[in-house]
Copies of this chain bind each other. A is one copy, B any other.
């Protein structure tokens, strides 16, 4: 049987189709026989299921090494394809005309036991080198397969989570407070601000002690008329921007959005995140485990897979879900898209 590489497709005859597509899900059937993507041909070569592929252009006969070293195939794709096959999946290269909706994916992976002749899809997989930054906005509907520099592969599931909770509070008004360098102090805080709303942190456990608010908490409260601070909300925002620049505005927008959704954000500093969140705060004394770690990013951020791995691993280690808040601002409004990234073992 001869397989020929031409214009990015490897073509075989009816026998190739029987042997590779019908029984093992490689390639796509066409009238004359079978078409394989180079990554599929590379896998067949690696397995010694075929001995060589003829390059129509040069006339050369390509073995696995020669095909892998050529421009016809990316080693990243080959490694991910092989890994998924090793895990017992059939999969198809996400090429136009080969699968429905190929955009945003490199491979369409079928449930174990299924193949390209079925409709069902288990995963839409993007294969990336750990050295390639990945646009955060492009995630959410695919599984990211990251090949690290030593060729180990990890899978990250991405999704659009629903972020909402039941926390809420009848807020007080006109509470006097001082803006210090890096926080706001409320000298005579209404007890419910902390005990029911989980705003701030008392300077000591004893009742009647001043309440310390972070700048985002204070700015959000000042914006709702709760605090009376010299210079008002603007002075607090100014103070936040002094150190953090626009990042402060993004964090404040996410803080407000979370509160609006009934979710209480508290600092995620100890987890290296912007916020940890509590969906259902009744009182601080009955507080449960925080559910999410939230990292705030500009919507056009490109994530290093290494940073993603760090965030996701840490979140998993502390039994929280890792959520990215992607913030885009125009003069008229601020949009936030929520993106969840988690570990996946396919």
List the interface of chain A (C-beta within 8 A of B).
Answer: 65, 68-69, 74-76, 129-132, 146-152, 154, 178, 180-183, 185, 187, 200-201, 203, 212, 214-217, 243-244, 266-267, 269-273, 305-307, 309-311, 313-314, 317-318
Contact = CB atoms under 8 A, between A and B. Distances in A.
A272 B183 contact: no
A271 B309 CA distance: 7
A214 to B, nearest CB: 4
Interface of A is mostly: mixed
- Kindly name the residue among A150, A214, A306, A311 whose own CB sees the greatest number of chain B CB atoms within 10 A: A150
Contact of A68 (B129, B185, B214, B269): B185
Contacts of A74: 181
Contacts of A269: 130, 146, 148-150, 152, 154, 305-306, 309
B272 A180 contact: no
Contacts of A181: 74-76, 129
Nearest to A304: B272
Nearest to A247: B131
A241 to B, nearest CB: 11
Contact of A69 (B152, B178, B271, B318): B178
A137 B21 CA distance: 59
Contact of A271 (B183, B267, B271, B310): B310
23 contacts: A65-B185, A65-B187, A68-B178, A68-B180, A74-B181, A75-B181, A75-B182, A130-B269, A131-B182, A149-B183, A149-B216, A150-B200, A150-B217, A150-B266, A154-B269, A269-B306, A269-B309, A270-B309, A272-B309, A272-B311, A272-B313, A273-B310, A314-B317
Nearest to A215: B149
A237 to B, nearest CB: 14
Nearest to A130: B269
A213 to B, nearest CB: 8
Contacts of A182: 75-76, 129, 131, 147, 149
Contact of A148 (B148, B187, B267): B267
A217 B151 CA distance: 12
A313 B267 contact: no
A214 B305 CA distance: 16
A59 to B, nearest CB: 22
